[in-house]
């Protein structure tokens, strides 16, 4: 998901509102495609996690990704400012870091 999120700032810089909306909708379609394998990876990670902290961290990454997706839809519709994406993205990357820490702390 992070690979797709890195493409978003360029789209958000599109000044023409209709063009930005169209580009965001195309972007969201790519995110939906990537989401299937992302969801599967989260499910596998949850099944193989040894601690509740790792499971919880994986759930946070999944939820944060959903928030980014919804935020992009709100931006496309003009319901929220583009800056909301960056707040949601910061939350996503924090959740990814939390997951990394939780996994490293698990015993082999």
Q: Is the pLDDT of residue 93 over 70?
A: yes
78: region left, alpha or beta (phi > 0 left; psi from -120 to 50 alpha): left
Per-residue confidence (pLDDT) for residue 108, from 0 to 100: 66
Query: Phi and psi for 78 in degrees, rounded to 5?
Result: 80, 10
> For the whole model, what pTM was predicted?
0.86
- What confidence tier does 38 reach under pLDDT thresholds 50, 70, 90? confident
Q: Is the pLDDT of residue 107 over 80?
A: no
> For residue range 7-32, what is the model confidence (pLDDT) as tens digits?
999 999 999 999 999 999 999 999 98
CA distance readout (Å), 103 to 39, 57, 62, 96, 99: 18, 9, 15, 11, 6
> For residue range 51-82, what is the model confidence (pLDDT) as tens digits?
899 899 999 999 999 999 999 999 999 999 99
Helices 52-76 and 17-48, axial angle in degrees (round to 10): 170
For residue 32, give both structure tokens: 């939906």
Q: Counting beta carbons within 10 angstroms of the beta carbon of residue 84, is it exposed (0 to 12), middle (13 to 18) or buried (19 or more)?
A: middle
**Residue position matching structure tokens 């995110």:** 31
């Amino acid at each position: 998901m992070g690979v797709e999120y890195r493409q978003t700032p360029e789209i958000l810089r599109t000044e023409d509102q209709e063009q930005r909306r169209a580009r965001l909708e195309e972007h969201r379609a790519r995110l939906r495609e990537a989401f299937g394998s992302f969801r599967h990876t989260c499910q596998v990670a949850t099944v193989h996690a040894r601690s509740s902290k790792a499971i919880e961290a994986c759930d946070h990454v999944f939820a944060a990704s959903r928030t980014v997706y919804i935020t992009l839809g709100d931006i496309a519709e003009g319901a929220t400012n583009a800056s909301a994406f960056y707040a949601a993205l910061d939350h996503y990357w924090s959740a990814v870091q939390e997951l990394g820490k939780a996994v490293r702390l698990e015993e082999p």
